[in-house]
Every structure is written in structure tokens, then in C-alpha cells.
Amino acid sequence: EEGPESRVQSPESRSKTQDPGLKTQDSGPRTQDFREPHHDTVGVLALDAAGTLAGGCSTSGFPLKLPGRVGDSPIIGHGLYAHPQHGAAVATGNGELVMGTCLTFLAVELMRQGRKPNEALHACMQRLEESFRLEEHHQVGMIALTPQGDWAQASVREGYRTAVRHAACDDLIDAR
Ligand code: ASP
């Protein structure tokens, strides 16, 4: 099912709405309009040939945060969780939604209980919808990966892409 119309911009449309009046620190050609709802923590999951899982995320791509705000990214079980036997998950988007549902822990716990990554992430999206009154600007995207190499992505609405790389694939895949 498609969600309501998204106000979260795609990377392409973002670059078209750059405000030449607001320069980044190096005052080079890159500019950004901070009036737009930007966020997007980068989350990475990896699996080596020996079956070892690893995960990482940036410390939050959410600009102009309230002083003292700690987002979901640095908190294990919220923005990132990995278990050597059961799988790993990362989340990006509105951290308050992720933190209110312990979302990556939930994804890995569901995989521990036997759900496949796509089933676990589907359940996570349902949990978000049950737990919050989601508004048009709300967005959460997730990736999950098992030690066997099964993986899935899901998001509340369109706008995220997952870069996938393994022996048979080197691609950018749209979420939803
Ligand atoms: N999840 C981040 C936060 O709320 C924001 C983001 O993913 O861009 O801090």
C-alpha cells in the first residue's frame, strides 16, 4: 500500500532546491536550504565471507537539532542493533519514532523468533503505524540483514534508497 503523499524530498529534488544564499562552511559551490525538512542518517550493514555481521551508522543526519538532543543513531537498539547469530538492522529518519519503538532491536528480535528480514521490517512498519499518528513529513527507513545473507529494506514512505553490493549485485534500490 502506498502511504500519503511525501513531503520528504528525494536526493534529486533536493539538489534542485538549493538556496544560493545559504552557503556551507567551505563556501564552495555546495549549498543547502535548511528550511526544507532534511535528515537522513547513513546506516550500513555488512557481512563477510565467514558470516560475521557488522553494522554502523552516522551520528544523525538531522540538521539544526535542539541543543542536547540525542537522536536514535548513537543508541544501540534504536538506530542500530546487531546480533552475531540472529541478524542486524539499522534505521534512519525521525529518531523520535525510532526511539519510541526500540525499532532495530525489535527487528532483530523478530528475526530471532524466526521471521525473515522482510517480515520483520514489515512488522516494524506496522508497529510505527500502531504507535504513532504518522504525519506526512514523518519518515523512517530500515535495512535488515541475516548472517545467511538474506536482507530487506522498508520505509514508511518513498524517498530512501539502499546501495547493495555483493558478488552478483552493485545497485541502488528504491525503498518501497
Ligand atoms: N535518525 C536521525 C535522528 O533523528 C535523523 C536522520 O536519520 O536523519 O537523529
Q: What tens digit of pLDDT does each residue of 120-167 get?
A: 999 999 999 999 999 998 999 999 999 999 999 999 999 888 999 999
39 Cβ inside 6 Å of ligand 1: yes
Distance of CA 141 from the midpoint of ligand 1 (Å):
10
Map grid coordinates 542486524 to a residue.
88
What pLDDT was estimated at residue 175? 79
Distance of CA 85 from the midpoint of ligand 1 (Å):
27
62 Cβ inside 6 Å of ligand 1: yes
Residues 155, 159: Cα–Cα separation, whole Å: 8
What pLDDT was estimated at residue 61? 73
60 Cβ inside 6 Å of ligand 1: yes
Residue % of the chain over a pLDDT of 90: 66
Q: In whole angstroms, what separates CA 120 from the centre of its chain? A: 15
162 labelled catalytic: no
Cell triple for residue 55? 553494522
Stretch 67-82: mean pLDDT: 94
**pLDDT range class, residue 33, cuts 50, 70, 90:** low
Residues 176, 174: Cα–Cα separation, whole Å: 6
Residue % of the chain over a pLDDT of 70: 77
Stretch 45-62: mean pLDDT: 91
Which of 139, 93, 87, 91 is closest to 116 using CA atoms?
Answer: 87
| Pairing verdict, β 151-155 and 161-166 | unpaired
- Is the confidence at residue 79, as pLDDT, over 80? yes
Q: Which of 45-49, 53-57, 65-69, 73-77 is predicted with the least confidence, judged by mean pLDDT?
A: 65-69
Which of 62, 95, 60, 54 is closest to 78 using CA atoms?
Answer: 95
pTM assigned to the model: 0.79
Distance of CA 58 from the midpoint of ligand 1 (Å):
9
> What residue's CA is closest to ligand 1, atom 9?
71
First to last CA, the chain: 9
- Write the Ramachandran bin of 102: left for phi over 0, alpha for psi from -120 to 50, otherwise beta: left
